[in-house]
Amino acid sequence: MNSLKSYVCKPISKGFTSNLGYPVIHPHRDKIIPRLEKITEVRPLICGSMWRQPFYVERYGKFKNYEKTNSFMVDRYGFYVPNHPDLKEEEIKRICEIVCKY
């Protein structure tokens, strides 16, 4: 993780933090994910923004300034990298190398 020090903002929680994966929000997500998927599982950060769900848009209409919201940033740029005790040090280093490349 030292190789990510200047890039990392740790999740802040006053309660429960899921160990499903480590959340990353990165503007080059579309370049990073295909490379990570060659070596490990990658998941989207949450399940998408409510603002984009068809039922929500149908009921409330399209949100005009959606691209300026935090939910847009999370939906567009967020993903989880694995976080489990079976990760080997070499796998962690490779994940860090890929994320830091961009």
Question: Quick check: pTM over 0.75?
Answer: no
With bands split at pLDDT 50, 70 and 90, how would you rate the model's confidence at 1? very low
- Enter the CATH code of domain 21-101: 3.90.1150.10
Q: Strand ranges (DSSP E) for the chain? A: 21-25, 43-44, 78-82
Contact by Cβ (8 Å): 45, 25: yes
Residues 84-100 pLDDT 10s: 888 899 999 999 999 98
